[in-house]
Structure 1
C-alpha cells in the first residue's frame, strides 16, 4: 500500500545556507551526509532530506512540509528573533487550529501548525 509517508525531501539551491537555516533557526540536527549534495536531518518519525539541485530548478515550490508547534505564539516570536522570513504578521486560523508559513533560504515554504484540540 502506498499510503504512508516515509521521507520528505526539500530541494535547495545552496546546501550551506540550507544547513544553517534548518540547524540554527529550526534546531534540527544533522543525521548523515550523503555526499556534498544530500543531507539527512534527525527526525524521529519521517526522515527529512535536504537535496541540493541546479539553480534553474529552485525558486518554485519544491516541497511543503508541516511542522507541529505546541505554542505557535512563542515559536512565532522566536523565529522572528532568529531572522526567519515569516509570510504573515501573525498566526492565521486553519481548520485544525492556527498556522504560519516561513521560507527557507531557497524560498521553500514551511508551515508551522498548532492544533486547537490539544
Structure 2
C-alpha cells in the first residue's frame, strides 16, 4: 500500500504464537483446532495452513516470556531498511540494532506505547 510516495506499514502478514513446547502446540492446533502444518522452519518454528494471515508457532523458553505477550503481530515491510530507518527517526522504540535474517526473509521488532511487541517482516 502506498500513501503518497511513502509505503504504509499497515498490512498484517503473520501472527506468531509463542509456545512453551512446540510438540504440544502442534498437537493442540492440529488435533484440537483442526489446523494443518504447512511448513517446518527447523525444530522450534512451524507454520500452520490458514486461509488469510499465516499463523506461526514458535517455541520460546517460558522464563523468557516473563510478562510479555504470547502473540506477536507481524506487519509486512516492502523495504526493511527504509522502514527501520524511518521508525527510528520517528522515535519508535526499536529492539534491534539492525534488521536480522529469519527463515522467510528479514525482520526487526518495535514496541508500541504499551510495550506490546510488533514484528516487521520483509519476505525475500
- State yes or no: 1:18 paired with 2:18: no
- Two-structure CA RMSD over aligned residues (Å): 1.8
Structure 1 unaligned residues grouped into runs of 5+: 66-118
Contact 1:13/1:58 (CA < 8 Å) preserved in 2?
Answer: no
**Residue 63 of structure 1: which of 60, 65, 71 is its match?**
71
Q: Please list the CA deviations of residues 39-70 of structure 1 after superposition, one character each: whole Å capped at 9, or x if unmatched.
A: 000012100000001120246431189xxxxx
- State yes or no: 1:39 paired with 2:11: no
Structure 1 or 2: more strand by fraction: 2
After superposing on structure 2, the runs of 4+ consecutive aligned residues of structure 1 that deviate more than 4 Å are none
Task: Number of aligned residue pairs: give it.
Answer: 65
- The aligned counterpart of 2:108 is none
- TM-score, normalization: structure 1? 0.51
Judged with a 3 Å threshold, the aligned counterparts in structure 2 of structure 1 residues 59 and 19 are, in CA distance, closer, same or farther, namely: farther
SS of structure 1 residue aligned to 2:9: coil
2:35, 2:66 → 1: CA distance?
23
- The aligned counterpart of 2:120 is none
Q: Which has the larger radius of gyration?
A: 2
Structure 2 unaligned residues grouped into runs of 5+: 1-7, 74-124
SS of structure 1 residue aligned to 2:57: strand
